[in-house]
Amino acid sequence: MKRAGIINVTGYAGAELARLLWRHPEVRLSSVTGRSAAGKPLGEVFPHLALLDLTIGEELDSVDVAFSALPHGASAPALVPLIEAGLPVLDMSADFRLRDVDDYEAWYGRKHPAPHLLLDAVYGMPELHREEIARARLVAVPGCYPSSAIPALAPALRAGLIEPDIIIDSKSGISGAGRTLGLTYHYAEANESVSAYGLEGHRHLAEIVQELSRLCDAPVSRITFVPHLIPMTRGILSTCYAPLAAGRLSPGNRARSEVCEIYRDFYRDEPFIRVVDSPPQTKHTWGNNYCLLYPTVDMRTGRLVVVSCLDNLVKGAAGQAVQDMNLMLGLPETTGLEELAVYP
């Protein structure tokens, strides 16, 4: 079996990755690190992971593949020695997602720690970059919001169905903010309340623009993205809107069925994208690696409307990382990930 290591297992994404690797039949999690918990048994920090019987170290032991769940800015410096040693590496931070160093430094407000590696990194969305991921040694696991928004819009842009004037309204559970304490995430502050944030520009918008622009002839610059915090633990639901391009669809109700067929064709062979017959709920993806899409047409306004939902810690983070790892190691893409949602 291949040996995997996780740098910074003590965050939500790192812990979820450990949970998923526990049941992987071809890869064994053999080493984990944590900046503030070194020397502690993993089961003491996360009792639900006690069966892994691992101790959190300061540095990774010898492994065959490494994941980093460190924050942006800290992840790249930790990974550079592993990358230079030729180890397959998957970065769950934002450090290698953007190909343009100026974009990274503008959105993240710091100098990039390893700009010479940006063009070597592959954006880890298998539905768009499967063959590149399979050849890569460095994969940047997409952010949670882009993992929901990009699949919702990719078929429409590729087919020229919409004008590039897009609105993305996304709502995320509180785990998306990580384990760092903050007043906004206290129970009394977040419960029974919904709040918008990032209206001046959320960092994940840069990923969305980068990847959607690669699907059409010109950069997609008119995207309004507004994320919201809602009082649940897991899940992202994005509703995406865009005006239909003239003459691309039949008039009347046939347009809806044509849009659904375009989406089903685009994702026909994708194991973790499902085009569904009714608007999905985040509960339908709780704990699994699926992204559910419901495309339709607002006939009154002439707009495409696509509802997308996923579990932000699985398909939006750790599950997609395992999917990428399977491709990098030449394993069946679905290995260790075919899980039903937890309900209710």
Q: Which residues are catalytic?
A: 144
Q: Which residues pair with 165 in a beta bridge?
A: 222
8-state DSSP, 162 = B
- Rg for the chain, CA atoms, rounded: 20
Beta bridge partners of 6: 32, 67
- Angle ∠(307,269,29) on CA atoms, nearest 5: 90
Helix (H) or strand (E) holding 41, with range, is none
Q: How far apart are CA 293 and CA 64, in angstroms?
A: 35
- Yes or no: say if 100 and 211 are a contact pair by the CB < 8 Å rule: no
User: Rounded to an integer, what distance in angstroms lies between the CA atom of residue 97 and that of residue 90?
Assistant: 11
The tokens for 207 are: 């990923």
If DSSP codes are grouped into helix, strand and coil, which group holds residue 141?
A: coil
